[in-house]
Amino acid sequence: MKSSELKQKYLDFFKAKGHAVIPSAPLIPENDPTVLFTTAGMHPLVPFLLGQPHPLGKRLTDVQKCLRTDDIDEVGDKVHHTFFFMLGNWSLGDYFKKEAIEMSFEFLTKVLKLSPPHLAVTCFAGDKDAPKDDESAQAWLKQGIPKERIAFLPKKDNWWGPPGTAGPCGPDTEMFYWGSSAPPPKIFDPKNKNWVEIWNDVFIQYHKTTEGKFLPLKQKNVDTGMGLERVTALLQGFDDNYRTELFWPLIQEIEDMTGKCYDQELVSMRIIADHLRAAVFILGDERGVVPSNVGQGYILRRFIRRIIRRMKVLGVNSGSVSLTSILARKTIEMYSSEYPLLKEKKSFILEELEKEENKFKKTLEQGLKEFDKIAAQGKMISGKDAFLLFQSYGFPLEMTQELAAEKNIKVDVVGFKKEFEHHQELSRVGAEQKFKGGLSGASAETTKLHTATHILNEALRKVLKEDIKQRGSNITPERLRFDFNFERKLTEEEIGKIEAEVNRVIKEKLEVVREEMPVEKAFQSGAHGEFGAKYPSRVSVYTVGKNYSKEICMGPHVKNTVELGKFKIIQEESSAAGIRRIKAILEK
Ligand code: SER
């Protein structure tokens, strides 16, 4: 079965069970200060898992573009990826464990026709925070999974979320399929690598507080996630995801380019294919970013640089030809029928890759020479030297670590970080930490700043010009950041006028009202949407005052503008050609 057929069967199955199909949210989350990328299908749905009603009801399903870097060191094996697609279905306070498990079992055995004697599951063993999950085990027994094929495991294995320090989470039950041609053993041993994890049903029924307490949620939810790449491979009889059509044409292109064979160069070719696909989807996202030294842009830069280094390992000397853009063309060709935005943004994607590649090629050669010199001096690369490679030659830390590992030497990572801070590159460190962090749900501060963003958006139209459009937004508990189309620097006077307009609206004590409506009606009513965003058929619209600002948005927002305090712009700068960026805060 092809991956596209698997996707379709998944969505059709859950549609027939009353789920609304929603589009994939962008890879780059908008108003979540705690993570850089969408890491799971549940991620864009957090407000709804916490109780906000979803315009399309209580049962949802989708195929979400996801990106995680926790597994980056694992990339190079058969099954780990940075970028991947997650099939998911959700119950927002509707069905719970029994029905979720029934549906999962039916899909696996009736639609995918996997043989029940090849299945096994794990359930949560229970601890001081939550009881043993007998309810799930009972539901599996009822489906015919024998006792010997149900393993109870602790929190480290059978608990999902919150992705950060606080937020929605709960026990999960994971499904495994016996991936070997040998007959499956009677008793399930989760440590046996032939059991391939294929699906995860999470029962989101707790809210972990920042103090580490697990409070029961009013609304009990189901959040499931199935990795498209892994299940496609399984259905096609491969134990290597890169052999499926999701990667294989790209691998062949790499083989052509290098004159080497996949079987002899597994690790490098897998890293190139994985990172290349990730880079194309980051650049080609609705909220696509360009390589830079901070945030998502820095992750993208690291991917591209790693690809180029790996190409060099494979002996390609490209001269002036851009290897990444050749591979990107292939990737766009493979994915654009399902992700047409990639085609629309093709020239942007190719140009940005080429620019970054040329930049890095200039320093790579010299950097490698410098590395060899440093490496010849001892068994450990000091923090200072790793930082020199980073700052002068653009070597991301993990590239230095990778090069060092090849020579059997270590890198002083702690020393590198110290050096980093010493050079006051705090913003980048912040971004790295943010990436490791997670979703904490909306705080009172981010909620206020979110409403302030809506008012600012409208104030810009009133003060500057009518056709201002939002081109990006990012909110942390401390400040808002807002990008919009405008050709030149704002004057002091304009900045003063914008602040005054926002503060006038705040003082007017306007109500903020949420309504649900079909997406066409929302646009007809004059609601603003985000440039290039894909919306589901029903959306929520937030209106400030009678008609001051109207935006399609997931929320959450304050009830009345008076809650916001005093609005102050702290920075105005260029963000890209024709795009300005404002940073602003709220003072008490
Ligand atoms: N959120 C869960 C996961 O990522 C299920 O989708 O595995």
Distance CA 534, CA 230 (A): 27
CATH topology of domain 444-587: Threonyl-tRNA Synthetase; Chain A, domain 2 (3.30.980)
User: Any bridge partners for residue 176, and if so which?
Assistant: 120, 197
Nearest to 50 by CA among 161, 200, 172, 173: 161
pLDDT at position 412 is 94
Q: Would you say 369 and 392 are in contact if contact means Cβ atoms under 8 Å apart?
A: no
pLDDT at position 209 is 85
Pocket test for ligand 1, best of 45, 67, 202, 206 (most atoms within 8 A of CB): 202
User: Any bridge partners for residue 173, and if so which?
Assistant: 201
Report the chain's C-alpha Rg in angstroms.
25
Q: Which two tokens stand for residue 119?
A: 């299945």
- Minimal-distance CA residue to ligand 1 atom 2: 225
Rounded to the nearest angstrom, the gap between the alpha carbon of residue 305 and the centroid of all alpha carbons in its chain is: 20
162 preceded by a cis bond (ω within 30 of 0): yes
Distance CA 134, CA 35 (A): 33
Residues of the chain with CATH 3.30.930.10: 3-242
Nearest to 355 by CA among 400, 297, 431: 297
C-alpha 157 to ligand 1 mean position (Å): 12
Residues of the chain with CATH 3.30.980.10: 444-587
- Kindly give, in sequence order, each residue whose CB lies less than 8 Å from that of residue 142, ignoring residues fewer than 6 positions away: none
Helix (H, G, I), strand (E, B) or coil at 462: helix
pLDDT at position 164 is 67
pLDDT at position 426 is 43
Distances (CA, A) of 51 to 114, 162, 168, 540, 556: 35, 16, 11, 14, 11
pLDDT at position 32 is 64
Evaluate: CB of 40 within 6 angstroms of ligand 1: yes
CATH topology of domain 3-242: BirA Bifunctional Protein; domain 2 (3.30.930)
Nearest to 234 by CA among 149, 174, 183, 177: 177
47 preceded by a cis bond (ω within 30 of 0): no
Q: Determine the atom of ligand 1 nearest the C-alpha atom of 39.
A: 4
Evaluate: CB of 223 within 6 angstroms of ligand 1: yes
Per-residue pLDDT of the chain (588 residues; tens, 9 = 90+): 999 999 999 999 999 999 999 999 999 987 666 678 999 999 899 889 988 899 999 999 999 999 998 888 889 999 999 999 999 999 999 999 999 999 999 999 999 999 999 999 999 999 999 999 999 999 999 999 999 999 999 999 999 988 767 788 999 999 999 988 899 999 999 999 999 999 999 999 998 888 889 999 989 999 999 999 999 999 999 999 999 999 999 999 999 999 999 999 999 999 999 999 999 999 999 988 999 888 899 999 999 999 999 998 898 876 778 899 999 999 999 999 999 999 999 999 999 999 999 989 888 888 999 999 999 988 899 999 999 898 888 898 888 998 999 899 999 999 998 887 777 544 433 444 443 323 334 678 888 999 999 999 999 999 999 999 888 888 888 899 999 999 999 999 999 999 999 999 999 999 999 998 988 899 888 899 876 677 888 888 999 999 899 999 888 899 999 999 999 999 999 988 889 999 999 998
Helix (H, G, I), strand (E, B) or coil at 31: coil
Distance CA 336, CA 258 (A): 25
Distance CA 164, CA 320 (A): 43
Distance CA 449, CA 472 (A): 14
Distance CA 419, CA 114 (A): 53
Distances (CA, A) of 419 to 193, 429, 433, 581: 40, 11, 16, 30
Q: How large is the greatest C-alpha to C-alpha distance in the chain, in angstroms?
A: 76
Q: Which two tokens stand for residue 504?
A: 């006038």
Q: Which two tokens stand for residue 354?
A: 């080429």
Distance CA 54, CA 516 (A): 9
Helices 383-393 and 397-406 pack at an angle, to 10 degrees, of: 120
pLDDT at position 34 is 64
pTM for the structure as a whole? 0.80
Q: Would you say 400 and 371 are in contact if contact means Cβ atoms under 8 Å apart?
A: yes
Evaluate: CB of 67 within 6 angstroms of ligand 1: no
Q: Would you say 208 and 166 are in contact if contact means Cβ atoms under 8 Å apart?
A: yes
- Minimal-distance CA residue to ligand 1 atom 7: 225
Q: Indicate the helix (H) or strand (E) that contains 14.
A: helix 3-16
Evaluate: CB of 29 within 6 angstroms of ligand 1: no
> Which residue, chain included where needed, has tokens 């009889």?
237
Q: Determine the atom of ligand 1 nearest the C-alpha atom of 41.
A: 6
Distance CA 152, CA 136 (A): 11
pLDDT at position 438 is 31
Distance CA 299, CA 321 (A): 23
- Minimal-distance CA residue to ligand 1 atom 6: 225
Q: Indicate the helix (H) or strand (E) that contains 572.
A: strand 566-576
Nearest to 363 by CA among 394, 396, 405, 328: 394
Rounded to the nearest angstrom, the gap between the alpha carbon of residue 563 and the centroid of all alpha carbons in its chain is: 31
Distance CA 437, CA 432 (A): 9
Pocket test for ligand 1, best of 35, 45, 91, 223 (most atoms within 8 A of CB): 223
